[in-house]
Copies of this chain bind each other. A is one copy, B any other.
């Protein structure tokens, strides 16, 4: 009885903007994005956003039902930044590979999006366009029926799962952190796990950004190899 209904910005029409006066959704979402990129998810409050638009905080509720809907709009927007090659031109494997790297970059560029992935369903037009384009590549590869969606979910799952904790890690670090001290504490924590400890110790001289790139590529190639192997059967 008390269960909330399923709701989403994408499930109902926006208020008609028949009159050219007043603000617009686009304007509001653009301002929200600026705030999110500059200050993170906690930096976006309805009051701050109102102030930025030189308006009362509560005036926003005329354009948007609540804050979650606003976040859904902002969230969909960033997927418009994705690079989506044409699989007919460069082939399916390069297409999805480029898309995977591009996805990772979008999330790293907008770290607040990592927090939203586990909270809001992605039903916006940019998300769908992206899914559609990736499906096209997998169909071209030779997948059929539900396997197209499965391959899709496998690859995007890999990218998200690899990138989300990377954001969490970046969040906790800043340039202010004493790297040497951090390393020392991590090693102390890992002391009980010999394998882990030894590999951490052997890593001292590596650039962490580079290591993460290598790791991402390693996994991406593995996932794609695994998917390709299915086609041969």
Contact = CB atoms under 8 A, between A and B. Distances in A.
A226 to B, nearest CB: 3
A18 interface: no
A22 interface: no
Contacts of A193: 128-129, 131-132
Contacts of A148: 195, 199
Interface string A185-224: 1100110110110010011000000010011001101111
Interface in A62-105: none
A180 interface: no
Given A154-B162, A225-B226, 8 more contacts: A4-B176, A6-B172, A123-B189, A151-B222, A153-B215, A159-B161, A160-B164, A222-B223
Interface of A: 1, 3-8, 10-11, 114-115, 117-123, 125, 128-129, 131-132, 135-136, 139, 145-151, 153-154, 156-162, 164-165, 167-169, 171-177, 182, 185-186, 189-190, 192-193, 195-196, 199, 202-203, 211, 214-215, 218-219, 221-227, 229-230
10 contacts: A5-B176, A6-B174, A118-B167, A121-B165, A122-B165, A128-B193, A135-B195, A139-B195, A154-B223, A223-B226
